[in-house]
Every structure is written in structure tokens, then in C-alpha cells.
């Protein structure tokens, strides 16, 4: 049941979609690095792909929690604390913040290189 | 095949295939959870506001909207369609009209018309909506096929069939929930795939000021060139924009079109339903950066766009995509366009299905069947709706101009319908037959105005669209006149249906960010700020 609800959580689905597109794009950018006339010298695939990939990775790491929390969870001390959905929701927001930050960094780097 | 704009590589097809698999997977996931009519047609009225609001916006962000608004940016400049057109209407829907739609427990817009007026008004609206929605869905199917033919050289049949069948399968399985879920996912995908266009455009042009200096005068402003009709590309003054677009046309669309209203009806409670269009307004505010700005960039970068011999305005966005996106990213961009197309079509199909099942089939063909029977009819309606859309797409391929008219006609239905709703909800003296004749007269007036005024009379097509707001006036006058001479419904029947006879809901106990009124006010402030910033 838990597994099923997880799949019906839109945030979870969107996270996976971003990850998969990120991995495919970044991988392709690393291997092939195709260029277009106007934007010569930029590996656009890699730059678009990587931030999207990183953002879900961060999400996953946070979700498992620190070793201390993991231990407490195992011991049953934290039965109430990490309410799965609330917990994910909070970190969803967090990871969005880091996502946008990375996104701005990327844009800025394109900008500065261009100048 | 012939010459195509874009050279695709296998990786692009992997990207495109993935989104098809993804949305089909969602359909399968939701199939077992969709049992009752309430589930299939209304998502069990259980969806949180952030999801319904994204779906609300995404259902409207179809391919015609994305390509069309980029074209409009390139042709006329300005962001009136968003910051003057859509948003005030969305706020009005959320704050004032949603309580009537949601609290009366109606399942569709025509059903409200029956509650407020009579069977005839409902029947007229249901049939015109069903027919026109399916035609428009076919037209957008055709436009999409055309873009992909020009861009990557797929045949019309390939793109029409593949995307239509995918939409058919996931909507038939999961009903409105499936449509809403995929719309939200597609909303993010559209941003993911298209956001880089304005960013890279800015990089190439060297910033905002550089872009503005290469644009025709006034394109990057909203109001400063609206003083007289001759000073802007639309050929219309500010009053025409405010009354024609801001009031009649956009209120007509956003507050009465079941395609968008249906998303709010799926919300889990009245507050979520009210917040649906209001949250959506926040997102709507930033859509111009995704579609209008690329339109402006296209003018700056591709000088012969829209001129004789040059590419058409409709290609503004695809041409920029071709300019900037390498293979790989191109696949993502194409996927985003397909996603926008699929969310628009799924929106049309679910709205059609509900209106057909509840307002035509249940009302006129089979009255007292079991719930399971109606779900089955709904699933078949999806199949038939998609098949008819495909047929329409091929008709459109043969008679492009006729199909343009159909779509225009559809917009005619909304303007008078808004008069019918405004009087119905806020003036309890409006009588059933007043509503019916007003709606009929308004629709006829819209058609007549369109047929009788010769082509080329207006400065631009857009100006003609705006002045067709007179249809609203016709509907309003006839509604009032007929109402004064016919018998109104007894007040006991109008409780909860009309403004003066309904208890007002209050959210005083809730936190400020949960209250629709306060949220709407905040959007208003932002809206005024944006209008001044880009004055």
C-alpha cells in the first residue's frame, strides 16, 4: 500500500521525470556534445541535464536522513517524527530551492562566459 | 517528406518516446482507482488546490496557446492577453463565481444553467459546447501535425494518430484524474523544455535593452502606446483592450468555459476550488516570459518573419528552437511541444466527455441508468470524441480557412454566455426565458457581426476580435428585456444559486495564505506592479 501511494504522489513522479530527462541529456552531452551555429562552444545538453539530475539526488539523500535519524528510526524512537508525506513535502520545497539556485548559477555562468 | 527545419537523431526519439510511456503509465496506475462516476468525471472531488491550479493552467496551455501566443507576441507585441486579459477574470472566477459552481454540487457548467434557468438553456449550451469543443480539439490536432511536419518531417498521419491514441488511452483509463495528473506533469515538462529559449535569446541579443532597441516601437510595453489606435500594431486603443479583451472576451472564456472550470470542480473542498484559479493566476503571470518574450525575440532576430516570403508568425517559437537547440535538447523541446499539445487535447476530451454524458446522454437519451453505466458511456465518449477529432483534423487539412472560422465561432459562444452567467448569478430577477433568449440573441449577434462586417474593415484581426464584444451587449440587453416581461423563478428555488440569496462563506479562521480573498488581493497588487513596470 505504501509503495502504491508513493507512485500516486505527483511530487514523486515529477521528481523522477526530471531525473530521467536530466540523466539522458547530461549523458548525451558528455558523450556527443553536439553544437549549434549560434551557441558555439557551450555544451547545452550537459548544462541543462546536470542541474536536473543533481536536484533529485539531493532530494533522495535528505529523505533517508542523517545516520542518527536512521538509527533512531530503526530503534522505533521516531515512529511519529518523519511522517512520510509531510517529511517529503518539506524537502520537496528545500530541493526546489536548491534547484532554482543551481538554475540561476547556470544562467549566470552562460552569461559571464558570453561577456 | 521534403526539406525539414530540424535534423533529428535517435536520442530525440528516446526523449519523445519516454513521455508517451510516462503518461500511459499514469493511466494504468489510476485505472483501478477510477470506479464511480464521481471518480471518472470529477476525480472524486478530492484533489488538493496546488494540483488543480496547475492543471487549470495547463489545460489552457495547449499547443495553440503556446504557438499562438508566441505568434501574437511577434505580430503585436505586449502582454495584454495575460496581464489585462486572463488574470482579472481568473481572480473573479475564484472569488465570486466559484462558490456557486462548487457549492451547488453541479457536475458541469450546463448543469448550473439548468439549475438557474431551464432545460432549454442547458441543452443549447451543452450541445454547442460539445460540438465546438470536439471541433477545436481536431483543429489543434491538425495544427500540431502541421508543425511537426514542417519541423521534423513526420507525416500528418503519424503525428496525429500517435498523439491522439496516447491521449485516448490515458484519459479513457483514468478519466479526469488521469487528465489532471498528466497535465501537471506536462506543465513542468513544458517549462523544462522551453525555458532555455528566452534565456539563450537574451544571451544572444545581449540583454533586455538590446532586444528592445531592435524591436518596433512600443512592442515591449503594455500601455504606453495604447492611447490611439494608430500608435500600435493592434490598431486599437486602451478602451477597446480593457472592455473588449479585459472584460468581455477573457471573462467569457475563463469564467464559463467548462474546459477550465472542470479542473476547479475536482478540488477537494470549496476553499481549494476557489484557490484553484487564484493560484493559477500566479503562474499565469509568468507564462509571458515563456511565450511572448520568445515572440519578441523572433522579431528581433529573424527580420523577415511575418513578411511576404518570410516564415509565418506561427513559427516564431519553433524557429528559435531550431536556432538554439542542439540534438538532444531538441528532443526535449519537441517533447515539451507534444506535452503542451497533449494536455490541451486531454482537457478538451475530458470536458467533452462530461458534458456529453451528463448533459446530453443522461438528460435526453437514458435518464435512470446505473452509475456504472454512465462511467462506461463516459469511456466510450472518450473513444468517440478522439475519433471525431481525428476526422476533424483531416477535414481541417483540406479546408484550413473553414476551420479557422469554427474556432472563431467557438469564441463567440463564450462572450454572450458570460452575460447569461453574470445576470444569472448576481441579479435574482433574471428569468429562465430571459436567460435563454439572451444567450441565443448574443450568439446570433456574434455570428452576424462576424459575417456582415467585411474583411479588412478593422485595422487588424485582433481589433476585429475585440470589437466583437458587442455580442455581450446584445445578450445583456435581451436578457434584461425578456426578464422584465416574463415570470422569475420562485426565490425558494434560487437559494444557493444566486448571489443575493446565498449565505456568504467566510474563511476568517484560516491563516492568511489559505484565504482566497487575501490571495486574490496579492495577485492584484503584483498585477498592477507588472503593468506599471512594463508600462
Confidence bin at B298 (pLDDT 50/70/90) = confident
SS3 B496: coil
% of chain B surpassing 70 pLDDT: 91
pLDDT of residue B520: 87
pLDDT of residue A115: 36
Confidence bin at B330 (pLDDT 50/70/90) = confident
Domain extents in chain A: 2-114
Top-confidence range, B80-89, B215-224, B340-349: B340-349
Q: Quick one: how far is CA B462 from the chain centroid?
A: 17
The distance of B241 to chain A (nearest Cα, Å) reads 35
Q: In this model, does residue A56 exceed pLDDT 60?
A: no
Total beta-carbon pairs less than 8 A apart between chain A and chain B: 76
Three state DSSP letters for B419-436: HHHHHHHHCCCCCHHHHH
Contact between B125 and B110 under an 8 Å Cβ cutoff? The reply is yes
- Separation between Cα atoms, residue B392 and residue B404, nearest integer Å: 12
Taking only the tens place, the pLDDT of each residue in B481-512 is 888 888 888 888 788 788 877 777 778 777 88
Taking only the tens place, the pLDDT of each residue in A20-30 is 888 888 888 77
Instruction: Tell me the chain A residues in contact with residue B189 when contact means C-beta distances shorter than 8 Å.
Output: 17
- Separation between Cα atoms, residue B33 and residue B39, nearest integer Å: 8
Give A87: exposed, middle or buried? Use CB within 10 Å, 0-12, 13-18, 19+.
Answer: middle
Q: How far is CA B324 from CA A37, B297, B303, in A?
A: 8, 12, 17
Instruction: Tell me the chain A residues in contact with residue B10 when contact means C-beta distances shorter than 8 Å.
Output: none
Instruction: Tell me the chain B residues in contact with residue A35 when contact means C-beta distances shorter than 8 Å.
Output: 326
Q: In this model, does residue B469 exceed pLDDT 50?
A: yes
- Separation between Cα atoms, residue B147 and residue B99, nearest integer Å: 40
Enter the C-alpha cell of residue B376.
462506461
pLDDT of residue A38: 63
Confidence bin at A82 (pLDDT 50/70/90) = very low
The distance of A90 to chain B (nearest Cα, Å) reads 15
Q: Do A14 and B14 touch (CB under 8 A)?
A: no
Interchain contact B204–A (C-beta under 8 A): yes
SS3 B114: helix
Least-confidence region, from B302-306, B320-324, B338-342, B359-363: B302-306
pLDDT of residue B341: 87
Q: Do A32 and B327 touch (CB under 8 A)?
A: yes
- Torsions phi, psi of B103, nearest 5? -70, -25
Q: What is the DSSP string of B65-112?
A: HHHHHHHHHHHH-S-HIIIIIIHHHHHHIIIIIHHHHHHTT-SSHHHH
Q: Do A39 and B204 touch (CB under 8 A)?
A: yes
Query: What's the average model confidence in pLDDT over A70-81?
Result: 39
Residues 321-380 of B with CB under 8 A from A: 323-329, 332
Instruction: Tell me the chain A residues in contact with residue B199 when contact means C-beta distances shorter than 8 Å.
Output: 107, 110
- Separation between Cα atoms, residue B17 and residue B273, nearest integer Å: 34
pLDDT of residue A59: 43
Q: How far is CA B404 from CA B110, B131, B260, B304, in A?
A: 25, 15, 22, 24
pLDDT of residue B228: 66
Q: Do B332 and A25 touch (CB under 8 A)?
A: yes
The distance of B250 to chain A (nearest Cα, Å) reads 30
Residue B262's contacts (CB-CB under 8 Å, 6 or more residues apart) are B108, B176, B350, B351, B354
Torsion sign across C-alpha atoms B237, B242, B245, B249: negative
Q: Do B199 and A110 touch (CB under 8 A)?
A: yes
pLDDT of residue A93: 39
Q: Do A44 and B329 touch (CB under 8 A)?
A: yes
Residue that wins the pLDDT comparison between B279 and A41: B279
Substitution target in A45, A47, A109 with the highest count of B β-carbons within 10 Å is: A45
Contact between B260 and B414 under an 8 Å Cβ cutoff? The reply is no
- Separation between Cα atoms, residue B258 and residue B93, nearest integer Å: 12
The distance of B24 to chain A (nearest Cα, Å) reads 13
Least-confidence region, from A71-80, A93-102, B61-70: A71-80
Domain extents in chain B: 10-533
pLDDT of residue B200: 85
The CA radius of gyration of chain A, in Å to the nearest whole number, is 18
Q: In this model, does residue B165 exceed pLDDT 80?
A: yes
pLDDT of residue B123: 92
Query: What's the average model confidence in pLDDT over B123-140?
Result: 87
- Separation between Cα atoms, residue A17 and residue A25, nearest integer Å: 12
Query: What's the average model confidence in pLDDT over B86-90?
Result: 86
pLDDT of residue B206: 81
Enter the C-alpha cell of residue B220.
515591449
Interchain contact A24–B (C-beta under 8 A): yes
Average confidence score pLDDT of chain B: 83
Q: In this model, does residue A49 exceed pLDDT 80?
A: no
Closest-approach residue (CA) in chain A for B22: A17
Residue that wins the pLDDT comparison between B219 and A56: B219
- Separation between Cα atoms, residue B307 and residue B209, nearest integer Å: 24
pLDDT of residue A43: 67
Interchain contact B189–A (C-beta under 8 A): yes
Query: What's the average model confidence in pLDDT over B200-212?
Result: 82
Instruction: Tell me the chain B residues in contact with residue A48 when contact means C-beta distances shorter than 8 Å.
Output: 196, 329, 332
Q: Do A36 and B323 touch (CB under 8 A)?
A: yes
Confidence bin at A96 (pLDDT 50/70/90) = very low
% of chain B surpassing 90 pLDDT: 9
Task: Give the Cβ contact number of residue B446 at 10 Å.
Answer: 25
Closest-approach residue (CA) in chain B for A47: B329
Query: What's the average model confidence in pLDDT over B453-469?
Result: 63
Closest-approach residue (CA) in chain A for B321: A36
Three state DSSP letters for B164-205: HHHHHHHHHHHHHHHHHHHHHHHHHHHHHHHCHHHHHHHHHH
Query: What's the average model confidence in pLDDT over B442-468?
Result: 70
Residues 52-111 of A with CB under 8 A from B: 52, 107, 110-111
Confidence bin at B387 (pLDDT 50/70/90) = very high
The distance of B29 to chain A (nearest Cα, Å) reads 8
- Separation between Cα atoms, residue A68 and residue A80, nearest integer Å: 16
Closest-approach residue (CA) in chain A for B199: A107
- Separation between Cα atoms, residue B312 and residue B74, nearest integer Å: 10
Confidence bin at B381 (pLDDT 50/70/90) = very high
User: A30 pairs with which residues across the strands?
Assistant: none
Substitution target in A6, A16, A23, A25 with the highest count of B β-carbons within 10 Å is: A25
pLDDT of residue A41: 61
- Separation between Cα atoms, residue B372 and residue B367, nearest integer Å: 14
Interchain contact B14–A (C-beta under 8 A): yes
Confidence bin at B396 (pLDDT 50/70/90) = confident
Quick one: CATH architecture of B10-533?
Answer: Up-down Bundle (1.20)
Least-confidence region, from A64-68, A73-77, B51-55, B227-231: A73-77
Least-confidence region, from A17-21, B2-6, B149-153: B2-6
Query: What's the average model confidence in pLDDT over B200-218?
Result: 80
Q: In this model, does residue B459 exceed pLDDT 70?
A: no
Taking only the tens place, the pLDDT of each residue in B405-425 is 666 666 677 888 888 888 888
pLDDT of residue B437: 92
Confidence bin at B535 (pLDDT 50/70/90) = confident
DSSP letter for B488, please. P
- Separation between Cα atoms, residue B56 and residue A85, nearest integer Å: 24
Question: Assign residue A64 a region: left if phi > 0, alpha if psi is -120 to 50, beta otherwise?
Answer: alpha
Enter the C-alpha cell of residue B10.
535517435
Which of B16, B381, B314 has its CA nearest to residue B162?
Answer: B16
Least-confidence region, from B66-70, B146-150, B370-374, B461-465: B461-465
The distance of A10 to chain B (nearest Cα, Å) reads 7
The distance of B274 to chain A (nearest Cα, Å) reads 21
Interchain contact A50–B (C-beta under 8 A): no
- Torsions phi, psi of B267, nearest 5? -65, 160
Q: In this model, does residue B382 exceed pLDDT 90?
A: yes
The distance of B384 to chain A (nearest Cα, Å) reads 28
Interface predicted TM-score of the whole assembly (ipTM), two decimals: 0.78
Helical spans, DSSP H, in A1-115: 2-7, 10-31, 44-64, 67-75, 84-114
Q: Quick one: how far is CA B148 from the chain centroid?
A: 22
Amino acid at each position: 500500500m505504501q509503495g502504491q501511494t508513493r507512485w500516486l504522489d505527483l511530487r514523486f513522479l515529477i521528481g523522477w521525470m526530471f531525473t530521467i530527462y536530466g540523466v539522458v541529456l547530461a549523458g548525451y552531452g558528455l558523450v556527443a556534445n553536439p553544437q549549434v551555429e549560434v551557441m558555439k562552444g557551450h555544451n547545452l545538453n550537459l548544462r541543462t541535464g546536470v542541474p536536473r539530475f543533481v536536484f533529485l539526488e539531493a532530494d533522495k539523500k535528505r529523505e533517508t536522513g542523517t545516520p542518527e535519524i536512521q538509527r533512531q528510526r530503526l530503534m522505533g524512537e521516531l515512529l511519529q517524527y518523519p511522517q512520510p508525506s509531510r517529511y517529503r513535502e518539506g524537502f520537496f520545497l528545500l530541493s526546489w530551492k536548491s534547484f532554482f539556485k543551481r538554475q540561476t548559477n547556470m544562467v549566470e555562468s552562460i552569461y559571464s562566459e558570453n561577456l | 517528406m521534403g526539406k525539414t527545419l530540424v535534423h533529428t537523431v535517435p536520442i530525440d526519439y528516446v526523449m519523445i518516446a519516454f513521455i508517451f510511456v510516462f503518461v500511459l503509465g499514469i493511466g494504468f496506475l489510476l485505472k483501478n482507482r477510477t470506479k464511480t462516476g464521481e471518480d471518472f468525471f470529477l476525480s472524486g472531488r478530492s484533489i488538493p488546490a496546488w494540483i488543480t491550479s496547475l492543471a487549470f493552467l495547463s489545460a489552457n496551455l495547449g499547443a495553440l496557446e503556446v504557438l499562438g501566443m508566441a505568434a501574437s507576441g511577434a505580430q503585436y507585441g505586449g502582454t495584454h492577453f495575460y496581464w489585462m486579459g486572463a488574470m482579472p477574470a481568473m481572480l473573479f472566477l475564484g472569488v465570486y463565481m466559484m462558490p456557486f459552481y462548487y457549492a451547488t454540487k453541479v457536475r458541469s457548467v450546463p448543469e448550473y444553467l439548468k439549475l438557474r434557468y431551464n432545460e432549454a438553456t442547458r441543452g443549447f449550451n451543452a450541445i454547442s459546447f460539445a460540438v465546438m469543443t470536439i471541433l477545436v480539439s481536431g483543429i489543434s490536432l491538425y495544427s500540431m501535425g502541421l508543425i511537426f511536419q514542417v519541423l521534423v518531417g513526420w507525416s500528418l498521419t503519424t503525428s496525429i494518430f500517435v498523439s491522439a491514441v496516447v491521449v485516448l488511452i490515458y484519459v479513457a483509463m483514468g478519466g479526469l484524474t488521469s487528465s489532471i495528473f498528466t497535465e501537471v506533469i506536462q506543465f513542468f515538462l513544458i517549462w523544462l523544455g522551453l525555458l532555455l529559449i528566452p534565456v539563450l535569446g537574451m544571451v544572444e541579443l545581449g540583454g533586455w535593452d538590446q532586444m528592445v532597441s531592435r524591436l518596433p516601437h512600443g512592442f515591449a510595453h503594455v500601455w504606453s502606446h495604447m492611447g490611439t489606435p494608430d500608435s500600435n500594431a493592434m490598431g486599437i486603443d486602451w478602451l477597446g483592450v480593457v472592455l473588449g479583451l479585459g472584460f468581455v472576451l477573457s471573462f467569457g472564456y475563463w469564467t464559463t468555459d467548462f474546459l477550465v472550470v472542470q479542473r476547479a470542480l475536482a478540488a477537494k473542498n470549496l476553499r481549494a476550488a476557489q484557490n484553484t484559479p487564484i493560484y493559477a493566476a500566479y503562474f499565469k503571470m509568468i507564462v509571458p516570459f515563456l511565450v511572448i518574450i520568445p515572440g519578441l525575440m523572433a522579431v528581433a532576430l529573424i527580420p523577415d518573419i511575418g513578411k511576404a516570403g518570410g516564415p509565418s508568425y506561427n513559427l516564431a517559437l519553433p524557429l528559435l528552437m531550431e536556432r538554439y537547440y542542439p540534438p538532444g535538447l531538441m528532443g526535449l523541446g519537441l517533447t515539451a511541444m507534444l506535452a503542451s499539445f497533449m494536455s490541451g487535447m486531454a482537457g478538451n476530451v475530458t470536458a467533452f466527455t462530461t458534458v456529453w454524458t451528463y448533459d446530453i446522454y443522461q438528460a435526453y437519451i437514458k435518464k435512470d441508468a446505473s452509475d456504472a453505466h454512465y462511467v462506461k458511456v463516459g469511456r466510450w465518449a472518450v473513444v468517440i470524441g478522439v475519433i471525431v477529432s481525428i476526422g476533424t483534423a483531416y477535414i481541417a487539412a483540406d479546408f484550413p480557412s473553414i476551420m479557422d472560422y469554427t474556432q472563431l465561432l467557438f469564441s463567440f459562444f463564450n462572450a454572450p454566455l458570460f452575460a447569461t452567467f453574470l445576470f444569472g448569478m448576481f441579479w435574482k430577477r433574471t428569468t429562465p426565458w430571459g436567460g435563454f433568449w439572451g444567450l441565443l440573441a448574443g450568439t446570433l449577434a456574434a455570428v452576424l457581426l462576424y459575417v456582415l462586417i467585411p474583411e479588412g474593415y478593422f485595422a487588424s484581426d485582433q481589433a476585429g476580435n475585440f470589437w466583437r464584444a458587442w455580442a455581450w451587449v446584445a445578450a445583456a440587453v435581451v436578457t434584461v428585456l425578456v426578464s422584465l416581461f416574463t415570470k422569475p423563478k420562485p426565490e425558494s428555488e434560487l437559494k444557493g444559486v444566486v448571489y443575493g440569496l446565498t449565505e456568504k462563506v467566510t474563511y476568517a479562521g484560516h491563516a492568511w495564505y489559505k484565504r482566497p480573498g487575501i490571495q486574490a488581493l496579492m495577485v492584484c497588487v503584483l498585477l498592477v506592479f507588472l503593468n506599471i513596470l512594463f508600462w
